[in-house]
């Protein structure tokens, strides 16, 4: 976005001149009008499965000319009758291409051409304090060809949301753009979050409610994380996919919430850890040379391991410090089934 | 597909500037002093705009002071807009707090349960601060909007809370309970509103009133702001304002027909056989083309649109019947309020406080308890308030036209008029009219029905007529008053009196109507002889501000094609008075011109001797 700054300032100067000559009674046109129109042309309504608090509707963001649509993952897409209402009001069936657990997002495809679509920048177009517009269909207010709702806010923070703390019901993991527009409403997830000039910054994330405070997080899944997912370059969960979750076979001895040292509590039989001779009560000190101060560090480093590649674990057993080589495998037991395209 | 270029933005007001600067994300590192001062200027402009209307926002409480809502004063005399669901628990009398910290007595005037609007009046000050009405049709998605009110009833000092956000959607539809509390073509915004904001104003950045905040999507997380608020559009409210000020319980309009979508067309699915629209030729499976000038492209759009119209409102409807498009005019029929079978309590999420806070109601719908005196829908709640409003309307009209004051007893307005029929000049006449109702019309050039040299007059006691070739004769009173020119002239004079209500046997403000494409008050009159008349006075001028002009006078009530109606248009100053320079004889709801009288010269003259008496007779 940096190259645009000078252009924007030029626009500022022009608008200031116009502001002085404008009659006081003329209504000020929204500076976001163009960005909104641009984004609404590229956003869709999605209708699928729903039960109880899982609402059967969401929003979606068109990211290619051949009908690829990003939306939030969830129960809604677990149906053979997934329908997408295009911006012109046409209703077409959609198929799930793939879904991502850490992004809590899904990629859909419709069999019609979608000439209006968002370009996906490979770098985040937003930073703390920037205006953002969230296109959404909260509470299913818009129907048919009616334009989707727009909520406005600023980026509060780009922060790491950790899936492992058991305070949230959605296992979103990694960086998220926190915004101060209220988007944690049914029907909002999957909607485009755009900058003031219409650049796609991300999609509204799945509703995430803290069990501790009953509050909800308003956040967007950043586009630079979604882009590889759309292009098929990201780690994909599911059978037959080239890269899955790494499987080590270690369960740590943890005390909920505390920062506890990474002592091994249990080794899964036949796992890479068991093959390498690791034992209960061993303390993991480092993985591939990176220090493991506590269980949290361990989880992060373990998640970053590449299946199929060897990894070096530094462990302390009694008073001995040794290095052990493990050949990491791919986790298959908890893989989510996906509908292949 | 290219992104819209930032540089190509249409430059807008100060706020656009702030947004643009912030949007660039470069405010901290590269903003110049000049830019910063402009941002501050825009901010100061916003603060000034808020200050301008701050004193007009009302915190509304029941007499018990338990709970409450918001409202906004739109008239110096203290008339305010709020929600029906705010006034229901407040009842006939409550309290209104203003930003001066004082509480004023508040009384209920009119209600619109269908559109969730009420008009009340503050008492205790000769002049109240008020907000100017805006035009909600100019609001577009992304526009800034300000909400003000009394969320959670937290203003101990009565000063309103101000919140800012953007318009998220326009022409939204939020269903009510049956036909009660329906928000049709409403504005959706992300400005924070919370319980207690109900009835408060939604402004654009110029603090023109564009809506009344009434409800939010409070479905999942208790009754707090979730980023979706809805306001009843001010343009809908304008159509109901005359009814509301007439102290009526408003009803909404219906066609007595329902429509559905089929193959991209909006098709009639049901129609009552005795419905007016059926008599005008609508049959099942006919296609609805347009309604009141709005092209109809979906059944939902139509349902949303028609819910914003009052009963008896005149509309033009186009429908396609067997391949041919017909355009008809009709008055909408009143839509009865269905009584909900089983009122369902709003689910209250665990952990929220019960009833001591703001008025606790299902979002935007009629509460189960009501402190309001029950009146049949469509009827006038309080005849005294109705008569007072008539007095006020007539007083405003007298203040504008100022004829009685300008003429006194010794002067009259003399007008030379050209008569035009079907766009061609057909005749000419000279009219002399005194403020007390005496008049004389002389035909200078003949036109159909009138011979050159004939005359007609009223000397204050009796009517006379003089044919071109014969002597004058007296005309019986009842016969004269049946002539529309006579009726119009007498009505005009009566409205100039200090107490017009005494000049008539009966005066009733019937409510709203549309005349000459303006929203107007319709007043039913009966003169001392019992002859029925109707007159229409505007509520708003073409620029949307309050403006009282006499627009039209009709014999009987103008409801049939036979009732002749005279319009009063093109007001221009004549000395200190304002006189309509174009009068048209019109027929029917479409107001088709039959004849047009254009003033070519108009002046105030001293009344000549025996100007109004029977010609040939000796001067009295």
Tell me, yes or no, whether B613 lies in a domain. no
Place of tokens 């979608």: A114
- pLDDT band at residue B464 using 50, 70 and 90 as cut-offs: very high
CATH number of the CATH domain containing A256: 2.30.42.10
Does one domain contain both A150 and A39? yes
Does one domain contain both B111 and B258? no
Tell me, yes or no, whether A15 lies in a domain. no
What are the pLDDT digits (tens) for B391-413? Answer: 999 999 999 999 988 998 899 99
Tell me, yes or no, whether B5 lies in a domain. no
Tell me, yes or no, whether A318 lies in a domain. yes
Identify the three-state secondary structure at position B41: helix
Question: How many angstroms separate the CA of residue A174 from the nearest CA in chain B?
Answer: 24
Q: Of A200, A235, A270, which residue is a domain's last? A: A235
CATH number of the CATH domain containing A177: 2.40.10.120
Mean pLDDT on B529-549: 87
Domain with A265 in it: 246-330
Q: Which of A138-152, A160-174, B80-94, B327-341 has the lowest mean pLDDT?
A: A160-174
Cβ–Cβ below 8 Å for B169 and A149: yes
Tell me, yes or no, whether A1 lies in a domain. no
| CB proximity A159 to B under 8 Å | no
What are the pLDDT digits (tens) for B219-274? Answer: 766 677 888 999 999 999 999 999 999 999 999 999 999 999 998 899 999 999 89
Q: Which residue in A117, A144, A150 is closest to B298 by CB distance?
A: A144
| Contact present, A302 and A278 (Cβ < 8 Å) | no
Rounded Cα gap, residues B439 and A321, in angstroms: 119
Does one domain contain both B373 and B414? no
Question: How many angstroms separate the CA of residue B30 from the nearest CA in chain A?
Answer: 10
Alpha-carbon A282 to chain mean position: 35
Tell me, yes or no, whether B171 lies in a domain. yes
| Contact present, A188 and A137 (Cβ < 8 Å) | yes
Does one domain contain both A79 and A228? yes
Question: How many angstroms separate the CA of residue B102 from the nearest CA in chain A?
Answer: 31
Single out the residue of B209, B298, B331, B287 nearest to residue B588, CA to CA.
B331
Neighbours of B341 (CB within 10 A): 7
Identify the three-state secondary structure at position B256: coil
Mean pLDDT on B209-220: 88
Does one domain contain both A163 and A295? no
Neighbours of A243 (CB within 10 A): 13
Does one domain contain both A301 and A203? no
Does one domain contain both A163 and A195? yes
Rounded Cα gap, residues B80 and B59, in angstroms: 11
Which of B:303-362 have CB within 8 Å of A? 351
| Contact present, B443 and B454 (Cβ < 8 Å) | yes
Residues with Cβ within 8 Å of residue A299, at least 6 apart in sequence: A164
Does one domain contain both A149 and A254? no
Closest B-chain CA to A127 = B25
What value does the mean pLDDT of chain A take?
82
Does one domain contain both B192 and B341? yes
Single out the residue of A43, A29, A13, A28 nearest to residue A114, CA to CA.
A43
- Residues above pLDDT 90, as percent of chain B: 66
Q: Of B334, B369, B404, which residue is a domain's last? A: B334
Cβ-based burial of B600 (10 A; exposed 0-12, middle 13-18, buried ≥19): exposed
Q: Kindly list the residues from chain B whose CB atom is less than 8 angstroms away from the CB atom of residue A4.
A: 6, 24
Closest B-chain CA to A39 = B3
Q: How many domains does chain A have?
A: 2
Does one domain contain both B568 and B547? yes
Mean pLDDT on B519-546: 88
| Contact present, A191 and A205 (Cβ < 8 Å) | no
Residues with Cβ within 8 Å of residue B330, at least 6 apart in sequence: B276, B277, B280, B314, B315, B317, B589
Does one domain contain both B266 and B405? no
**Model pLDDT, residue B370:** 79
For residue A143 the two structure tokens come to: 């129907």
| Contact present, B204 and B134 (Cβ < 8 Å) | yes
Tell me, yes or no, whether A339 lies in a domain. no
| CB proximity B545 to A under 8 Å | no
Domain with B22 in it: 12-52
Rounded Cα gap, residues A316 and A324, in angstroms: 11
| CB proximity B225 to A under 8 Å | yes
Cβ–Cβ below 8 Å for B1 and A126: no
| CB proximity B142 to A under 8 Å | yes
Does one domain contain both B359 and B215? yes
**Model pLDDT, residue A24:** 40
Does one domain contain both A134 and A221? yes
Residues with Cβ within 8 Å of residue B322, at least 6 apart in sequence: none
Cβ–Cβ below 8 Å for B25 and A30: no
**Model pLDDT, residue B519:** 95
**Model pLDDT, residue B26:** 44
CATH number of the CATH domain containing B364: 2.40.10.120
Does one domain contain both B282 and B236? no
CA-CA-CA-CA dihedral for B87, B89, B95, B100, to nearest 10: -70
Q: Rounded to two decimals, what is the model's pTM?
A: 0.80
Cβ-based burial of B92 (10 A; exposed 0-12, middle 13-18, buried ≥19): middle
| Contact present, B16 and A14 (Cβ < 8 Å) | no
Q: Of B334, B369, B397, which residue is a domain's last? A: B334
**Model pLDDT, residue A338:** 34
| CB proximity B44 to A under 8 Å | no
What are the pLDDT digits (tens) for B543-595? Answer: 778 999 999 999 876 666 677 899 999 999 999 999 999 999 998 888 999 99
Question: How many angstroms separate the CA of residue A119 from the nearest CA in chain B?
Answer: 8
Does one domain contain both B308 and B415? no
Q: How many domains does chain B have?
A: 4
B280: left (phi over 0), alpha (psi -120 to 50) or beta: alpha
Does one domain contain both B109 and B210? yes
**Model pLDDT, residue B342:** 52
For residue B343 the two structure tokens come to: 């009122």
Mean pLDDT on A79-102: 92
DSSP A127: -
Of residues B20 and B387, more confidently modeled: B387
Residue B338 pLDDT > 80, yes or no?
A: no
Cβ–Cβ below 8 Å for A38 and B6: no
**Model pLDDT, residue A239:** 38
Tell me, yes or no, whether B187 lies in a domain. yes
Does one domain contain both A256 and A205? no
| Residue A70, CA atoms < 13 Å, CB-side half-sphere | 37
What are the pLDDT digits (tens) for B132-190? Answer: 999 999 999 999 999 999 998 888 899 999 999 999 999 999 988 888 999 999 999 99
Does one domain contain both A150 and A259? no
- pLDDT band at residue B6 using 50, 70 and 90 as cut-offs: very low
Neighbours of B2 (CB within 10 A): 7
**Model pLDDT, residue A256:** 65
- Residue A331 CA: distances (Å) to CA of A303, B47, B533: 11, 60, 88
For residue B488 the two structure tokens come to: 């119009």
- Residues above pLDDT 70, as percent of chain B: 88
Q: Measured at the alpha carbon of residue B179, what is the angle toward residues B177 and B183, in degrees to the nearest 5? A: 80
**Model pLDDT, residue A2:** 36
Cβ–Cβ below 8 Å for B9 and A31: yes
Cβ-based burial of B113 (10 A; exposed 0-12, middle 13-18, buried ≥19): buried
Of residues B211 and A338, more confidently modeled: B211
Cβ–Cβ below 8 Å for B23 and A31: yes
| CB proximity B168 to A under 8 Å | yes
Q: Which of B23-27, B134-138, B297-301 has the lowest mean pLDDT?
A: B23-27
| CB proximity A144 to B under 8 Å | yes
Does one domain contain both B482 and B392? yes
Does one domain contain both A54 and A109? yes
**Model pLDDT, residue B1:** 41
DSSP B155: -
**Model pLDDT, residue B12:** 38
Mean pLDDT on B418-443: 93
Cβ-based burial of B481 (10 A; exposed 0-12, middle 13-18, buried ≥19): buried
For residue B506 the two structure tokens come to: 């009966």
What are the pLDDT digits (tens) for A259-298? Answer: 888 999 989 888 899 999 999 999 999 999 899 988 888 9
Does one domain contain both B111 and B208? yes
Residues with Cβ within 8 Å of residue B325, at least 6 apart in sequence: B289, B318, B319
Cβ–Cβ below 8 Å for A19 and B1: no
Tell me, yes or no, whether A129 lies in a domain. yes
β-strand partners of A129: none
Cβ–Cβ below 8 Å for B226 and A115: no
Mean pLDDT on B322-329: 94
Q: Kindly list the residues from chain A whose CB atom is less than 8 angstroms away from the CB atom of residue B5.
A: 7, 197
Does one domain contain both B123 and B165? yes
- pLDDT band at residue A337 using 50, 70 and 90 as cut-offs: very low
| Contact present, A11 and B26 (Cβ < 8 Å) | no
| Contact present, B220 and B348 (Cβ < 8 Å) | no
**Model pLDDT, residue A1:** 35
Single out the residue of B198, B202, B240, B195 nearest to residue B218, CA to CA.
B195
Does one domain contain both A75 and A55? yes
For residue A225 the two structure tokens come to: 């994380």
Rounded Cα gap, residues A231 and A121, in angstroms: 12
CATH number of the CATH domain containing B580: 2.50.20
- pLDDT band at residue A164 using 50, 70 and 90 as cut-offs: low
What are the pLDDT digits (tens) for B340-388? Answer: 555 455 554 544 444 333 333 443 334 446 788 888 899 999 999 999 9
Does one domain contain both A218 and A128? yes
């Amino acid at each position: 976005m940096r190259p645009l700054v000078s252009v924007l300032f030029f626009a500022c100067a022009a608008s200031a001149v116009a502001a002085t000559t404008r009659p006081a009674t003329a209504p000020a046109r929204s500076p976001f009008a163009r960005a909104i129109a641009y984004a609404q042309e590229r956003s869709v309504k999605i209708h699928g499965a729903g039960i109880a608090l899982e609402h059967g509707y969401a929003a979606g963001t068109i990211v290619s000319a051949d009908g690829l649509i990003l939306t939030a993952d969830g129960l809604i897409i677990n149906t053979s009758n997934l329908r997408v209402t295009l911006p012109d009001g046409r209703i077409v069936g959609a198929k799930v291409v793939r879904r991502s657990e850490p992004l809590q997002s899904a990629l859909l495809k419709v069999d019609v051409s979608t000439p209006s679509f968002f370009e996906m920048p490979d770098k985040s177009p937003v930073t703390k304090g920037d205006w953002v517009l969230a296109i959404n269909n909260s509470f299913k207010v818009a129907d048919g060809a009616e334009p989707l709702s727009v909520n406005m806010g600023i980026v509060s923070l780009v922060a790491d949301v950790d899936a492992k703390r058991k305070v949230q019901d959605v296992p979103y993991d990694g960086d998220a753009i926190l915004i101060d527009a209220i988007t944690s409403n049914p029907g909002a997830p999957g909607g485009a979050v755009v900058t003031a000039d219409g650049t796609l910054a991300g999609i509204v994330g799945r509703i995430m409610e803290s069990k501790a405070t009953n509050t909800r997080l308003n956040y967007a899944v950043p586009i630079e994380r979604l882009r590889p997912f759309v292009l098929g370059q990201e780690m994909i969960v599911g059978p037959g996919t080239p890269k899955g979750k790494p499987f080590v076979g270690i369960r740590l001895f943890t005390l909920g919430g505390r920062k506890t040292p990474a002592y091994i509590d249990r080794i899964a039989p036949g796992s890479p850890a068991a093959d390498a001779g690791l034992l209960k009560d061993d303390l993991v000190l480092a993985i591939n040379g990176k220090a493991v101060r506590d269980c949290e560090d361990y989880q992060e480093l373990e998640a970053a391991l590449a299946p199929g590649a060897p990894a070096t674990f530094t462990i302390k057993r009694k008073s001995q410090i040794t290095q052990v080589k493990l050949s990491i495998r791919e986790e298959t037991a908890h893989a989510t089934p996906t509908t292949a395209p | 597909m290219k992104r819209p270029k930032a540089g190509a933005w249409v430059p807008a007001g100060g706020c656009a500037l702030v947004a643009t600067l912030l949007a660039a994300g470069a405010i901290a590192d590269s903003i110049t002093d000049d830019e910063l001062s402009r941002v501050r200027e825009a901010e100061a402009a916003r603060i000034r705009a808020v200050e301008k209307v701050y004193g007009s926002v009302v915190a509304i409480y029941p007499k018990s002071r338990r709970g409450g809502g918001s409202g906004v004063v739109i008239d110096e005399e203290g008339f305010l807009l709020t929600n029906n669901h705010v006034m229901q628990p407040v009842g006939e009398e409550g309290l209104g707090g203003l930003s001066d910290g004082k509480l004023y007595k508040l009384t209920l005037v009119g209600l619109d349960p269908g559109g969730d609007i009420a008009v009340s009046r503050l008492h205790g000050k000769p002049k109240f601060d008020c907000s100017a009405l805006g035009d909600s049709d100019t609001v577009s998605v992304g526009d800034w909007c300000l909400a003000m009110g009394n969320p959670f009833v937290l203003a101990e000092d009565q000063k309103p809370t101000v919140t800012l956000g953007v318009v998220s959607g326009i022409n939204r539809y939020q269903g009510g309970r049956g036909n009660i509390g329906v928000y049709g073509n409403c504005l959706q915004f992300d400005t924070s509103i919370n319980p207690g904001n109900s009835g408060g104003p939604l402004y654009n950045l110029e603090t023109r009133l564009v809506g009344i905040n009434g409800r939010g999507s409070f479905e999942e997380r208790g009754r707090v702001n979730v980023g979706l608020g809805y306001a009843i559009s001010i343009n809908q409210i304008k159509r109901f304002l005359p009814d509301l000020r007439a102290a009526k319980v408003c009803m909404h309009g219906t066609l007595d027909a329902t429509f559905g979508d089929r193959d991209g067309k909006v098709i009639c699915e049901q129609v009552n056989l005795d419905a007016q629209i059926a008599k005008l030729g609508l049959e099942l499976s006919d296609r609805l083309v347009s309604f009141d000038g709005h092209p109809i492209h979906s059944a939902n759009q139509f349902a949303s649109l028609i819910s914003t119209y009052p009963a008896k409102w005149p509309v033009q409807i186009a429908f396609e019947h067997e391949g041919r498009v017909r355009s008809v005019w009709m008055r909408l029929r009143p839509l009865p309020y269905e009584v909900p079978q089983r009122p369902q309590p709003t689910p209250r999420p665990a952990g929220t406080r019960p009833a001591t806070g703001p008025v606790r109601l299902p979002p935007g719908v009629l509460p189960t308890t009501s402190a309001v005196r029950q009146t049949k829908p469509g009827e006038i709640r309080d005849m005294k308030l109705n008569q007072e409003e008539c007095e006020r309307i007539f007083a405003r009209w007298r203040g504008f036209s100022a004829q009685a004051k300008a003429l006194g007893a010794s002067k009259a307005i003399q007008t030379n008029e050209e008569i035009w029929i079907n766009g061609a000049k057909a005749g000419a006449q000279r009219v002399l009219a005194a403020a007390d109702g005496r008049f004389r019309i002389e035909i200078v050039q003949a036109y159909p029905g009138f011979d050159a040299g004939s005359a007609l007059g009223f000397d204050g006691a009796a009517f006379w007529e003089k044919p071109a070739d014969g002597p004058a004769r007296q005309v019986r009173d009842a016969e004269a008053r049946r002539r529309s020119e006579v009726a119009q002239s007498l009505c005009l004079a009566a409205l100039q009196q200090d107490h017009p209500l005494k000049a008539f046997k009966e005066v009733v403000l019937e409510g709203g109507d549309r005349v000459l494409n303006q929203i107007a008050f319709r007043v039913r009159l009966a003169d001392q002889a019992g002859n029925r008349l109707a007159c229409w006075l505007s509520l708003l001028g073409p620029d949307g501000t309050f403006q009282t002009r006499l627009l039209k006078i009709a014999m009987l009530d103008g409801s049939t094609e036979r009732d002749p109606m005279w319009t009063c248009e093109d007001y221009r100053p004549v000395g200190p008075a304002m006189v309509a320079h174009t009068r048209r004889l019109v027929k029917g709801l479409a107001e088709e011109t039959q004849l047009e009288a254009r003033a070519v010269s108009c002046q105030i003259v001293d009344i000549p001797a025996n100007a109004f008496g029977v010609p040939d007779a000796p001067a009295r």
